[in-house]
Homo-oligomer: A and B are copies of this chain.
Amino acid sequence: MNNDAPRQHFASDNYAGMCPQARHWLLEADATGHQPAYGDDIWTQRVSEGLRHLFQTDCDVYFVFNGTAANSLALASMCQSYHSVICTPQAHIDTDECGGPEFFSNGSKLLTTDPAAPGAALAKLTPDEIERLVTKRSDIHYPKPKVVSITQSTELGTVYSVEEVRAIAAIAKRRQLKVHMDGARFANAVAHLGCHPSEITWRAGVDVLCFGGTKNGIPVGEAVIFFDRTLSEDFAYRVKQAGQLASKMRFISAPWVGMLEGDTWLANARHANEMARRLYHRINSVPGVRVMHEPQANAVFAYLPEPAIKVLQNEKGWKFYDFIAGGGCRLMCAWDTKVESVDAFAADIATVCAALR
């Protein structure tokens, strides 16, 4: 690894900066002096059109500042306070938003599926678990299920297949549930599946997608995409009231021009996925390391010996999370993760684990 370059980390893909294409358009938008505020600018229009083009459908597009807001506002647009949202026990909306969905919806409850159910170990919802939860209670003492929320790619770096999304949406429709997709790492899922983005969204039955930008090279901001446009009635008001309307909107939207141009979003995701696969192959057979499952998106989840974690973090200076997913370490690659960084990290893991045996 080049000693001059700043150290890279595997803690989160939000440790990375802007990708060059996002930066280019950020500066381009800045270079034009005075521009109308609150989204009445040319970049916001252009990117909204671009996303409609990308998804091949006439969807409604809104930009908000981060994933907490994107998911929470999307859910609030589908739920009243006395409704509920079905999700996995690993769902980011349940475990890492500090009650954001409950706050924005004024009390909607998240109903988490059985941690022992099939699919649960891969952080996936299944039609059976949805059916079980939606039919479990029908009295007014329990909040009425209204939405199914799935994370694509999941919190454990796995990816729902097109068929899996379709099956989930089918049971949802049958039970009058809306389908929300937390796509903080949507690009990584598409990159893995090699499908068209429409195939795992509206063509499969997804009503609202929160399309993550930040983790894929955008400085600040996520897109909320309503495929079911009846759900976005007055959503602009909701965004404004909730403190999510940027006055200088161009700085949120323009970077997306760079993401869409030449499918940068997909290239970035492919690269991150590849780096995760490389890391996986480098550490999978290291004695002492137990990878939880083969990575599909941009993260490897692995059990490392406790002392190895300490040495890697404290002596070797690597940053990564060791508290997510039940004891395993989350080793996350970003759009800019270098081969050299992966190799250096993998080498340190091997060395440290060997020294401990």
Contact = CB atoms under 8 A, between A and B. Distances in A.
B234 A246 contact: no
A291 to B, nearest CB: 23
Nearest to A252: B220
Looking at A80, A219, A239, A242, the one whose CB has the most chain B CB atoms below 10 A away is: A242
Contact of A107 (B18, B30, B106): B106
A44 interface: no
Given A65-B246, A95-B142, A247-B14, A241 B336 contact: no
Interface in A21-43: 23, 27, 29-38
A214 interface: yes
A248 interface: yes
Contacts of A55: none
Contact of A251 (B9, B220, B240): B220
A161 interface: no
Given A241-B82, A241-B103, A97 B141 contact: yes
Interface stretch (A66-74, A166-174, A258-266): A66-74
A140 B98 contact: yes
Nearest to A233: B80
Looking at A11, A30, A31, A82, the one whose CB has the most chain B CB atoms below 10 A away is: A82
- Name the prevailing secondary structure of the A interface residues: loop
A98 B17 contact: no
Interface residues of A, number: 80
A188 interface: no
Nearest to A67: B247
Given A9-B34, A220-B246, A252-B220, A143 B99 contact: yes
Given A102-B107, A141-B97, A243-B66, A336 B220 contact: no
A245 interface: yes
Nearest to A95: B142
A66 B143 contact: no
Contacts of A8: 33-34
Contact of A141 (B98, B142, B252): B98
Looking at A12, A68, A141, the one whose CB has the most chain B CB atoms below 10 A away is: A141
Given A65-B243, A67-B247, A98-B240, 16 more contacts: A6-B33, A9-B34, A11-B37, A17-B34, A33-B336, A64-B243, A66-B244, A66-B247, A68-B240, A81-B99, A82-B241, A83-B234, A99-B143, A106-B107, A140-B240, A220-B248
